[in-house]
A = this chain, B = another copy of it.
Amino acid sequence: MNKILVVENDENDRHRMVATLQLSNYMVVCASDGREAVQMARTVHPDLIVCNSCLPDIDGYGVLHTLRQTPGFTSLPFILLASIDNKEEFRKAMREGADDFLAMPFEGIELLRAVESSLARNQRLARHPTLSKTGPEIEMGPDHLLSRTWDPADRSVLIFRKKEIIYREGQRASHVWYIVRGKIKTYRVHDDGKELITNVHGPGDFIGYAAALEGNNYKDNARVLDEAGVIQLSSVEFLHILTEDPGLFRCVIGSLAHQVAEKDEDLLNKAYNSLRKRVANGLLLLTDKFRTTEAGDRIIQLSRENLASIIGAAPESLTRTLSDFRKEKLIEIEDGRIHLLNLEKLRKMIN
């Protein structure tokens, strides 16, 4: 059982976190200010520390800084909590070598995921003799426990269930996710509540990194479509890996450049194409992306509402167009799943 030290001066918040963590079978100890936190850490030897950045006397950065210079604590997983609206906090946390960063206010599940992911990473690193610390401590700089290249095989996978939210618009871009399996949509919400799905991501994709690169808040929302397995990286670690792994870097740059071109295309499409063309285009793009072939033909399994949000139309309008396509023998619908029958005609429709 892992031991976690929670450092938080607000009593309510502290109780909430303790309760959440205990519920997940962690052993929890508490401190309410920085001085107490450092003493506690040295006596209790926790496996992980969750610490608010804003504390009386010694603040969270001070605690982190002090511990990082103490033998035995240089690579101890450390999660910082800080207010969402302060951009500088995030960079400071990066520099001091926090493992993870949670923007307040956060939900219980976010805390648990951050804890789980940090512990898993630390255990993984401990297995690598070159990276684990023995004997007298050597000054390693802020990248003391960040790994140097990207190997998904070496990471623990988090499971998100259908319809779960991975991140929300406006949250500080604290993490980046790599999709191992499943499908995840990223979308934006219009004032009147309509959603527009800007992308559907599958295995091998990263999500949330554009915001991390800008060092800003997420500009869109991410929600699971099919149950998904993802690897969670803190933005800090992601950026570190990028600088160390040129292959990944090229891949990310290429992907960004590609996305810009793709979205321009989509803008043209949405601005001037008729509904029929937009639907045909959407169907073809989706099957191109996820070659979900079953016995050769292309199948799309997606709720009408989601599909409409990709096309950028009302669900009723979409249904009508699909109904037309069915009459024209272009597609076939079974249990709500759409089979594309005549690819040539669909392609010809959009030119």
Interface positions of A (Cβ within 8 A of B): 188, 190-192, 194, 196, 198, 209-211, 213-214, 219-220, 253-254, 256-261, 263-268, 270-273, 312, 351
Asked if residues B214 and A268 are in contact (CB atoms below 8 Å), the reply is no
Q: Using Cβ atoms and an 8 Å threshold, which residues of chain B touch A194? A: 272
Q: Using Cβ atoms and an 8 Å threshold, which residues of chain B touch A268? A: 188, 190, 196, 198
Asked if residues B272 and A219 are in contact (CB atoms below 8 Å), the reply is no
User: In the docked arrangement, what's the CA distance between A278 and B251, Å?
Assistant: 34
Given contacts A190-B268, A268-B188, A270-B270, contact A211 B261 (CB under 8 A): yes
Q: Using Cβ atoms and an 8 Å threshold, which residues of chain B touch A263? A: 260, 263-264, 267
Given contacts A254-B213, A254-B214, A312-B267, contact A190 B260 (CB under 8 A): no
Q: Using Cβ atoms and an 8 Å threshold, which residues of chain B touch A219? A: 261, 264-265
User: In the docked arrangement, what's the CA distance between A78 and B259, Å?
Assistant: 33
* Contact sample, A vs B, 21 pairs, CB 8 Å cutoff: A188-B264, A188-B265, A190-B272, A192-B272, A196-B267, A198-B264, A198-B267, A198-B268, A209-B257, A210-B257, A210-B260, A211-B257, A213-B253, A214-B254, A214-B261, A253-B253, A256-B256, A260-B260, A260-B263, A267-B267, A271-B312
Q: How many copies does the complex hold?
A: 2
Q: Using Cβ atoms and an 8 Å threshold, which residues of chain B touch A210? A: 257, 260-261
Q: Using Cβ atoms and an 8 Å threshold, which residues of chain B touch A253? A: 213, 253, 256
User: In the docked arrangement, what's the CA distance between A270 and B188, Å?
Assistant: 13
Q: Using Cβ atoms and an 8 Å threshold, which residues of chain B touch A256? A: 253, 256-257, 260
User: In the docked arrangement, what's the CA distance between A261 and B209, Å?
Assistant: 11
* Besides A190-B268, A196-B271, A267-B270, 7 other A-B contacts (C-beta < 8 A): A188-B264, A190-B271, A198-B267, A209-B257, A214-B257, A256-B257, A263-B263
The 5 closest A-B pairs by CB, nearest first: A271-B312, A263-B263, A256-B256, A213-B257, A210-B257
Q: How far is the CB of A282 from chain B (nearest CB, A)?
A: 12
User: In the docked arrangement, what's the CA distance between A211 and B260, Å?
Assistant: 10
A186's closest neighbor in chain B, by CB? B264
Q: Using Cβ atoms and an 8 Å threshold, which residues of chain B touch A191? A: 351
Q: Using Cβ atoms and an 8 Å threshold, which residues of chain B touch A267? A: 188, 196, 198, 263, 266-267, 270, 312
A212's closest neighbor in chain B, by CB? B257
User: In the docked arrangement, what's the CA distance between A351 and B192, Å?
Assistant: 11
Q: Using Cβ atoms and an 8 Å threshold, which residues of chain B touch A188? A: 264-265, 267-268
Q: How far is the CB of A241 from chain B (nearest CB, A)?
A: 14
